[in-house]
Amino acid sequence: MRTAPTILHLDMDAFFASAEQASKPSLRGKAVVVGGLGPRGVVATASYEARVFGVHSAMPTAQARRLAPNAAYLTPRFTFYRAISEQVMGLLRALSPLVEPLSLDEAFVDLEAGGVAWDSASAERAGLKLRADIRAVTGLTGSVGLAASKMIAKIASERAKPDGLVLIEPGTERALLGPLSVRALPGVGPATGDHLRRAGITTVDEIVEAGEDELVRLLGKAHGHGLYAMALAHDDRPVVAEREAKSVSVEDTYDVDIHDRLRIGLEVQRLADRCVRRLRSAGLSGRTIVLKVRRYDFSTLTRSETLRGPTDDPAVVREAALRLLDAVDTTGGVRLLGVGVSGLADYTQEDLFAQAAGERARAEAPQEDDVPHAPQPVPEEPEPAERRWLPGHDVRHAEYGHGWVQGSGLGRVTVRFETPDSEPGRVRTFRTDDPALEPTEPLPLVRRPDVPAACLDGAAPGTAGPGAGSAAEGRAADGGSGTGHPVAGGWRGQPSLG
């Protein structure tokens, strides 16, 4: 264990929902829920205003609507969130070479490795500066925990929420952990928590009282030893920079079970193409193609095929996924499909034999000019497919400018016209096929001439960057600012809101 609180854990506050509130002035201070909006949708993030009604992540959206019927329900804009995440991660990497991202909105940082902290005072200064930089660059807030270990730093950031900082002094960890639920410890999920509860163990102090031998008997050797060490606040896990991805995958859950075998095949091909786009954007390829099928009765099947070498060829991935689908019975219907690639590498090894065969087939195929055919009538112009207008997504109107979709249906789409820098805007309704209305890219949350260019690396075009104007300061995107701050010998902070 370290003798100074130089491990920092950052957790952005209600990240997706806060980004939406910052982007949409009319939603600031109001309940916002981001997630799937269909009958089988799940909440990804709820703003703090929505959490007051009991809405939380991983809850079915249908249940959230019953709890908070007047909240704004929006579909995620992941490209937008990733761009903001890259800005935040850029700030973290400026602090230290050892940054361990856990998700788009959460990461550990080893401040000691970056030379910016060596004791409590310097760690606190680094944490406060980081929070100020995040607000200046993104307009959003993040909560910071500082401690001598990763486990305690993460617990501290939970105590700091929202928009606070909590520092745990080394030597006070046991007093902090003792009264907490066993679920506060890493590796204790619902199943392990229920198992311990049935044995009469509900708090961390009760784990210590039960003893290591009892934990080994209840949970097995590896888990028992590890959990007992955690209960004693022994956590020597290092911050590991840029953990290597083990797989890339995409999946979709369908509002209505799919029975048509042809459509299932088309969905698998579409998912394979999406998966390959993610592979290529990360500069990766893979050897093992994985197909995931969840059937009407919730039974989930996984099938995989390993190729002779890594590939990022969409045709190869599509064909492999379809071969795997051939071995799966989908008679009763399918509610979820997924395609993934594992065995990742940063290079590709094309199948030269298959490539040569394809080129030979193309060469031997008759060319259009060589095939005699009768004159064909000119086909009529096909009717354009109706555009989908997803709630929360950005649009631009030729006359009214930038806005976002509030809802659509019955051939109409409702748009609120506003920008991150404007006052709450007016709402107008258009036909879904109105030629003056087009999807567009998100606008930057913050346009400040003093934002360092180094902080904007990796941001998507049109999502972040220096420019004219300024976002409103002090916006209450998360229902207020936190009051957590360090004190000698322990911590004092605002209780976590989740």
The catalytic site residues sit at 106
Pairing of strands 401-409, 412-417: antiparallel
Note the Cα 208 to chain centre separation in Å: 35
Q: What is 173-238 written as a DSSP string?
A: HHHHHTTSBGGGSTT--HHHHHHHHHTT--BHHHHHHH-HHHHHHHH-HHHHHHHHHHHTT---PP
Supply φ then ψ for residue 4, to 5 degrees. Answer: -135, 150
Note the Cα 120 to chain centre separation in Å: 31
Q: Return the closest-CA partner of residue 19 out of 161, 142, 127.
A: 142
Supply φ then ψ for residue 428, to 5 degrees. Answer: -135, 155
Supply φ then ψ for residue 220, to 5 degrees. Answer: 100, 165
Q: What angle do CA 181, 187, 193 make, to 5 degrees?
A: 45
Q: Return the closest-CA partner of residue 338 out of 377, 404, 292.
A: 292
Strands (E), 322-464: 334-345, 394-397, 401-409, 412-417, 426-431, 437-439
